[in-house]
């Protein structure tokens, strides 16, 4: 159905700063290309930076929640795929 591999779901979105919190079900690295899919939204972008507990990380693993800038508005429940 979707291209790419499901790596997480959006669990929160800070609209003022354009940052999404993604709960991961797989590993994600800075530099990975991701696709975010949800109601009326379907876009791809590169992971430019991620934070776990307000610390910059290069890689995050399944079970972690990461904050990352997103190029469009997203909502809770949207799915994140690694391309």
Q: Which CATH number fits domain 5-82: 2.40.30.10, 3.40.50.510, 1.20.120.1730, 3.40.720.10?
A: 2.40.30.10
pLDDT of 71: 96
Predicted structure pTM score: 0.94
Domain layout of the chain by residue ranges: 5-82
How far is the C-alpha of 46 from the C-alpha of 11, rounded, in Å? Answer: 19
Contact predicate 78/37, CB 8 Å: yes
pLDDT value of residue 3 = 73
Phi then psi for residue 49, to 5 deg, are -160, 155
Residue 1: is its pLDDT beyond 90? no
What's the number of CA atoms in the CB half-sphere (13 Å) around residue 17? 9
Quick one: which of 45, 26, 23 has its CA closest to 35?
45
Mean pLDDT of 14-24: 97
pLDDT single digits (tens) 34-81: 999 999 999 999 999 999 999 999 999 999 999 999 999 999 999 999
């Amino acid at each position: 159905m979707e291209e790419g591999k499901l790596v997480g779901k959006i669990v929160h979105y800070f609209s003022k700063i354009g940052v999404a919190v993604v709960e991961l079900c797989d590993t994600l690295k800075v530099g990975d290309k991701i696709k975010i899919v949800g109601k009326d939204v379907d876009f791809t972008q590169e992971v430019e930076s991620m934070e776990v507990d307000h610390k910059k990380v290069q890689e995050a693993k399944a079970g972690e929640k990461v904050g990352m800038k997103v190029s469009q508005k997203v909502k809770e429940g949207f799915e994140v795929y690694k391309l």
